[in-house]
Structure 1
Amino acid sequence: MTARTQKLFVKSYGCQMNVYDADRMADALGAEGFSTTQSADDADVIVLNTCHIREKAAEKVYSELGRIRKAAQEAGRRPIVAVAGCVAQAEGAEILKRSPIVDLVVGPQSYQNLPELIAKARAGERPVDTEFAVEKKFEALARPAMRPARAPAVSAFLTVQEGCDKFCTFCVVPYTRGAEVSRSVAQVLGEAERLAGSGVREITLLGQNVDAYHGEGPDGRPWTLARLLERLSEIDGIARLRYTTSHPRDFGDDLIAAHRDLPKLMPYLHLPVQSGSNRILKAMNRRHTGAEYVELIGRIREARPDLALSGDFIVGFPGETDADFEDTMAIVEAADYAASFTFKYSPRPGTPAAGRAGQVPDEVMSERLARLQARISERQAAFQRSLVGRRLEVLVERAGRHPGQMGGRSPYLIPVQIESCDAAPGDLVEVDVTGAGANSLFAAPAGGARGAIPQLAEATA
C-alpha cells in the first residue's frame, strides 16, 4: 500500500522575506515527501511563520495557536504544530511553556532543519532551534528545490542578504535576524538561473538591508549589490530586476549608476526614511539627516529621471513634537513619493526606544498618522493619474476577471488590467494607459505581446 502524502500548511506574517522563507520551508520538506496545502484543516504539519516588527506580535501568534488547537480538537486531529520566524527567535522556549499545542520552535535562520525537528517532535521531543547559523541556511538554499512541481511563477523573490548592523533604536531585526550576512555570488546566480529556467521573468532581491550586500564573488572578493545586479542582468530569460529594502547610508555611487545603466533594473525604489526631523532621526540612530536623504534621492533621479519612489514612515516616535511631525510632512513634499508605508510607533521589547521618556499618546499618533496617510494618498493618486496617456511595458501575470482581460504589473509595481489582450503570463506587452483607479491602472495593448525586449537583448549582447 502506498503511504499517504504528508501535507504542509504554512501561514506567513509580515515581510517579503517571510514569504520567501515559507517557500524554502516547502522546499526542505518537499524532499521528505510533503506537499503544500492551502488549508490547515487537512495538514499534517502546520507552521506559523511569524513577524515581530509590529506591537503585540506574540499575542497574535498565541491567539492563532488557540484557534488551531480548538479546530484540531473539534476534528479529532493532532497535527504537528511549529512556530517559526522572528517571534520564535525572540520568544524561544517560552512559546512551549505558554502553548502546549506547539511541538517545535524554529528561528528564521534554522528552517533548513525542519525535517529533523519534525522527526524529533514525532518522537515525543519538543525541540527549539534558534541559533544564528545563517551560513548553514544559505548553504541549504544553494541546493535545488525538491518539492513537487507547482504552477510556474512569473515573478519570484530571491534572498541575497539577511540581518542588519544599523541598530535603529525602534527595530528588533538585529536581535531576531542577527548581523548582516550575504550569500555568495555563486549561490545567488545559481538560484537565479534555476528560477529563469522555470519561467520566472522578474526577480526581486531581498534583504533586511539589501544595499549592504557584500557576498563573496568568484574572485574571492566581496561584490556590491550593483555588481551583482549587473551580472544578474546577463541571465537569459530574466527581463526585470528589483530589490528591497535599502538603507540610505549604504546606497553607493555604483548603485546609482546601475539605475542609469541597467535597463532591466526597474525604475521603482523603496528607500525608507522613517522621519523628516533631524532630531528624531538622530534619536532613531538612522545616522543620516533629512537633507542628506533628499540630496541622495536627487542624485538617483538625475541618473534615472523616470524613477518612482516609495518610503517608510514611523509616526509618534518617543519625543516627537508637532514641529518634528511637520518636518516629516515637509519631506513628503520634497521627496515626491509615488507611494509610502506609514505606521504608528509601537515599542518593541528589548529595543532602546521602548523605555524612553516622551512616549506619544495614541490619540496624537492617530491624528498625525491620518494626516500623513491623507497626504501620501494624494501623492499616490496624482502619480497614477500622471501615467494615464503614457505607454508602459507590462509584465503579464495572470488572466483578468473579465473575458479577454489580462492582469499584469507595471515597471512601478502598480497592477495593470489590460483589455482585449491575447498575451500569456510571462509575456511583456506595451500598453497605452487609459485610466487610473484607486490601486490599479487600466490599459489597452499598444503593439501586441513579445517575449523579449529588444533594447535588453542589445544591452546584453
Structure 2
Amino acid sequence: MGSEKVIEEKKQGQALLTANKEGNSKKLYIESYGCQMNLNDSEIVASILSEQGYNTTHLMEEADLVLVNTCSIREKAEQTVRKRLEKYTAVKKINPTMKVGVLGCMAERLKTKFLEEEKIVDLVVGPDAYRDLPNLLAEVSEGRDAVNVILSKEETYGDVSPVRLNSNGVSAFVSITRGCDNMCTFCVVPFTRGRERSRDPKSILEEIKQLVNDNYKEITLLGQNVDSYLWYGGGLKKDFKNASEIAKATAVDFSQLLDLAATEFPKTRFRFSTSNPQDMSLDVIRTMAKHENICKYIHLPVQSGSTTVLERMNRQHTREEYIELIDNIKEILPDCAISQDMITGFCGETEEEHKDTLSLLEYVKYDFGFMFAYSERPGTPAAKKMEDDVSLEDKKRRLNEIIQLQRAHGLFRLEQYVGKTVEILIEGTSKKSETHWKGRNSQNAMVIFPKGDEQIGDFVNIYVENCTSATLLGKRV
C-alpha cells in the first residue's frame, strides 16, 4: 500500500544497512520515521556519506555519526523522535565523540529548539540540504553547531543514485517530484519540504534502467503529489505559466512519463503514489489501461466526503468532482483498485458532514484505506486560523465508524477474487508461515500461497481459493 503519506509502522525507526564500501573507516547509524519519501531520502543521505568515508552500522554504540530522519505529519512521529533523542544522549555519555544530527521535516520546524534549547544535537539538516552534509560535518568537527534548513527551488537529487537500503531486492521506489504546492490547511508538507518541482525524465528513466539491470521487478514512482509531475526543463511547477512556448510544447507530464517508463521497460511492473484528485487526469487512466505492466491500483486520498469540509481543508476538489473521477476510473479501468486517505473530526465537522463521508465510502467501496482522526499540526493554516473543536470522544467514534465500514468494503473487494486466477509478484516469505510465499497482484492485494520451486522476484499465476479480511489465499496454477 505504498503511499508516501502512509506511515508504515513496521519500518519506523529501523536502522538502515547498506553494502560496505572498501576503505571507508567511519560508521554511520541512520534511522527514519515517517513516509516512504523519508526512507528514500535516507538512501540518498547514505549515498552522499558513503563518498565521505562512512559505512552504515546497526549498532548505535559504535557509530561516529548518528542521524535520525524525522517526520512532522503526525504528532506520534514527533513524540517518537523526541524519545529517540533522549536515547542518543544516553549513548553519547558512553561514546562522547559521537555526533548526532536531525534530518528531514522536523528539522525545519524545530531547529532552534534542538540546537540551542535542548543541546542534544550537533547538526540540523532540512530535506533539500543533504548535499551540504560534507560541509556541515566539517563545521561540526571544528566544534560548531551546523544548520542548513534552506528549502530549494531546484533540488531534486536527480543525479544522486540512492543506495538501496533494507530492500527486498524486488520492489524499489523512485522519487519523481519533491515538495508540494497544495496548501491543504491540515498539512505541514509545503512548509517542511517546500514548493513542488519535478525531476528530469532522463534521470528518472536512467535510475529505473539501473534498477532493472539490478533485477528489480517492480518500481513505484513517488511524489508528495505524483500526478502533478511536470518537467519543462527545470524550475517550480507554479512557474510553468511563464515558460517559453517551446518549453511548454516539449513539456512532459505524468501520463507521458508513465507511458515512457512502461514502454521502455515492458517486463517491469509500475506503481505510483500519491495521487491528488484534482491532478488525476483521464490521460493517466488511459495510459494505465494501455499498458499491462502498469498496476491497476490508484491511491486517491479524498480526506472527507463533504464538500464543505473539503473547502475548509482547502482541497481543490468537491465531493461531486471526486465522484465523477471515480466513475471515470471505473469506466476506463473496470478492474482498478482504489484506496483512500481519510481525516475525520476536522475543524467544525458536523454530524451531517460525517454522514457525507460514510455515504461516499458506501458509494466507492474502497479496496483499502488509511484513516486518521484529525490532530492539529503546529505551523499549519488550520492551527493558526481554525478551532480544533470536535471532541476527542466524537473523533474516536467517527473514526471507528469509518474503519468498520472500510473493513467490510475491503473484505467485499477481496471476495471478488475468490475463484479467479491472478498474477502475482513474489516479494518474500509470508510473515506467518515459513512454508508460504507472499506477493501482491496488480490491484495491490496481498496473496499467500504454498511454496514450490519458485524464487523471490518471480511472476506466478495463483488460483484464489479463499480470503481473510486482509489477504487472498490460493495455490499456484
Question: CA 1:151–1:303 in 2, change beyond 3 Å: closer, same or farther?
Answer: closer
Q: Could you say which residue in structure 2 is the equivalent of 1:98?
A: 117
- Could you list the runs of 5+ residues in structure 1 that have no partner in the other structure? 447-461
Q: For residue 378 of structure 1, what is the amino acid of its counterpart?
A: A
Q: Deviations over 1:254-281 (max 9, x none)?
A: 1121121121110111001100111111
Q: Could you say which residue in structure 1 is the equivalent of 2:425?
A: 395
- Contact 1:35–1:148 (8 Å) recurs in 2: no
2:286 match: secondary structure: helix
1:232 aligns with 2:261: yes
Q: Deviations over 1:151-173 (max 9, x none)?
A: 77111111001111120111111
Q: Which moved more, 1:6-15 or 1:293-302?
A: 6-15
Question: CA 1:274–1:6 in 2, change beyond 3 Å: closer, same or farther?
Answer: same
TM-score (norm 2): 0.87
Q: 1:12-411 alignment to 2 at 5 Å?
A: 12-55=32-75, 57-73=77-93, 75-135=94-154, 137-138=155-156, 140-145=157-162, 153-216=169-232, 220=247, 221-236=250-265, 238-354=267-383, 355-357=385-387, 359-400=389-430, 402=433, 404-411=435-442
TM-score (norm 1): 0.90
Task: Quote the offset at 1:144 in angstroms.
Answer: 3.7
Q: For residue 381 of structure 1, what is the amino acid of its counterpart?
A: L
CA RMSD of aligned residues (A): 2.2
- Contact 1:394–1:416 (8 Å) recurs in 2: yes
- Cα distance in 2 for partners of 1:386, 1:3 equals 55
Percent of residue pairs identical = 36
Task: Quote the offset at 1:383 in angstroms.
Answer: 1.6
Q: For residue 9 of structure 1, what is the amino acid of its counterpart?
A: Y
2:263 match: secondary structure: coil
Task: Quote the offset at 1:10 in angstroms.
Answer: 1.8
Q: Deviations over 1:166-192 (max 9, x none)?
A: 201111111111111000111111111
- Cα distance in 2 for partners of 1:259, 1:242 equals 10
Question: CA 1:331–1:149 in 2, change beyond 3 Å: closer, same or farther?
Answer: closer
Question: CA 1:306–1:237 in 2, change beyond 3 Å: closer, same or farther?
Answer: closer
Question: CA 1:200–1:216 in 2, change beyond 3 Å: closer, same or farther?
Answer: farther
Task: Quote the offset at 1:422 in angstroms.
Answer: 1.4
- Contact 2:124–2:147 (8 Å) recurs in 1: yes
Q: For residue 174 of structure 1, what is the amino acid of its counterpart?
A: P
Q: Which moved more, 1:186-195 or 1:62-71?
A: 62-71
Q: Deviations over 1:394-428 (max 9, x none)?
A: 11122346555322222222332221321112211
- Contact 2:71–2:104 (8 Å) recurs in 1: yes
Consecutive aligned runs of 4 or more in structure 1 exceeding 6 Å deviation: 148-152
- Could you list the runs of 5+ residues in structure 2 that have no partner in the other structure? 1-21, 235-245
Task: Quote the offset at 1:435 in angstroms.
Answer: 2.4
1:266 match: secondary structure: coil
1:92 match: secondary structure: helix
Task: Quote the offset at 1:32 in angstroms.
Answer: 2.2
Task: Quote the offset at 1:60 in angstroms.
Answer: 3.4
- Contact 2:24–2:54 (8 Å) recurs in 1: no
Task: Quote the offset at 1:96 in angstroms.
Answer: 0.7
Q: Could you say which residue in structure 1 is the equivalent of 2:6?
A: none
Task: Quote the offset at 1:99 in angstroms.
Answer: 2.9
Task: Quote the offset at 1:237 in angstroms.
Answer: 6.8
Q: Deviations over 1:363-416 (max 9, x none)?
A: 110111111111111111222222222211111122346555322222222332
Task: Quote the offset at 1:85 in angstroms.
Answer: 0.7
1:418 aligns with 2:445: no
- Cα distance in 2 for partners of 1:86, 1:362 equals 27
